Amino acid sequence: MEKKISQIVNKARRQLESIKNLKEFDKLWLTFFGSSGIFTGEVKKVSRLKAFEKPRAGKLINASKKELEALFANKKAQLLKKGVPSKIDVTLPGKKPQIGHLHPQTLVLNDLMDIFRFLGYRVAVGPEIETEWYNFQSLNFPPDHPAMDTQQSLKVPTDKNGNAILRTQTSSMQVRIMEKSPLPLRVIVPGKCFRYEAVDSSHGFEFWQLEGFAVDKNIRLTDLFGTIEFVLKKLMGESTKLRFACTNFPFVEPGVDTYMECTVCKGKGCSFCKQTGWSEIMPAGMIHPNVLKNSKIDSQKWQGFAFAIGLSRAVTLRYGIDDLRILTNPDLRILSQF
């Protein structure tokens, strides 16, 4: 056995000298130490020796194994030092992982919620699949209003009465909340809305909106103007230029539209603001008495105002983005700028 073991060690030493890469090294390792390897076979023969021969053979096997392992370890170190490629090179530095961050729309939403919480508003959420009652009829929409046409709202075949739609506005939560909440109240409702609408740089068929309303005694239109100015200047900056215009919505009377100077063109006129220099940002008004009535609220004792912020548009105006479709672009080269 001594002669055989000596031959195995010498053979391994000669073959290791000709090894040029780790693939050949691994193959040679298995030749000697694999389950059917040359050295492994000699180790198995020890069990067949006579009792008085085993101690001497065991010492020989252990010494030879250490010598072989040292030869293989030195050769592997030489190969790694020469920079021979391997499947996994433990000497290379690790790849730096990309660190995620909040989407610009989430940043603006969080800021808005902080501003409104400071003013005493609570945050509520509601269903994206809504009934026509809460989305339209409870908000004083007449049956023939164009917004109720299928060209403006998207039907969903889930309601047993056939009148379920994807909500077109988060205003659908107004009556839902008012009919179940004690007065007075201040609430904001952020959420996704859907409309059958042509997509362009400032409009989308799927968009985020933040609805808000307050109900209390002796609320006036001036309270609404003050709230709008405070919120938008906190969000966009104290130098933000605003203007109001009369408008009409079924669920408010009177109705107002809030415009802010376009941040994309700085008021000079561009495709985003339709060359006007101003962009609609926050339609609002005093809650219509019929809406209060549908919520079982006495309009002689209580008044309120409501407003809505186009969240997607607020993001584009805050960061000077000339196309809100960028917000749904998965290109990290764009989103990583915010």
Whether residue 65 has pLDDT greater than 80 = yes
> Considering the domain boundaries, does residue 93 fall inside one?
no
pLDDT tens sequence across 314-334:
888 888 887 777 787 777 777
What 55-59 contacts at long range (C-beta under 8 Å, 24+ apart), as own/partner pairs, is 57/1
Question: What is the spatial distance between Cα 4 and Cα 42, in angstroms, rounded to a whole number?
Answer: 8
Judge whether 56 lies within some domain: yes
Looking only at the bridges linking them, the beta strands covering 206-216 and 303-310 are antiparallel
pLDDT digits (tens, 9 = 90+) for 48-61: 778 888 788 888 88
Total tally of structural domains belonging to the chain? 2
Ramachandran quadrant class, 37 (left: phi over 0; alpha: psi -120 to 50; beta: rest): beta
- CA distance linking residue 43 with residue 34, whole number of Å: 12
One domain for residues 8 and 157:
no
186 compared with 324, residue with greater pLDDT: 186
Instruction: Give me 128's structure tokens.
Output: 């994206």
- In the chain, what is the straight-line distance between the N-terminal and C-terminal CA atoms, in Å? 74
What is the model's pLDDT at position 202?
A: 60
Q: Which domain holds residue 136?
A: 104-335
pLDDT digits (tens, 9 = 90+) for 111-125: 999 999 999 999 999
Q: What is residue 222's three-state secondary structure? A: helix
Same-domain status, 115 and 60 = no
Task: Let me know whether 210 and 309 are in one domain.
Answer: yes
My answer on whether 61 and 109 are in the same domain is no
Same-domain pairing of 135 and 68:
no
Is 161 found in the same domain as 41?
no
65 and 130 co-located in one domain: no
Quote the DSSP letter at residue 316: H
Residues 68 and 210 in one domain: no
Same-domain pairing of 261 and 321: yes
pLDDT of residue 160: 65
**135 & 221 share domain:** yes
Out of 81, 113, 142, pick the residue that ends a domain: 81
Residues listed for the chain: 338
From the number of C-beta atoms within 10 Å of its C-beta (0-12, 13-18, 19+), residue 337 rates as exposed
7 and 123: one domain?
no
Residues 155 and 301 in one domain: yes
Give residue-wise pLDDT tens across range 187-211: 999 998 888 777 766 666 778 899 9
| Cα Rg of the chain (Å, integer) | 38
Domain assignment of residue 109, yes or no: yes
Tokens of 322: 């000339």
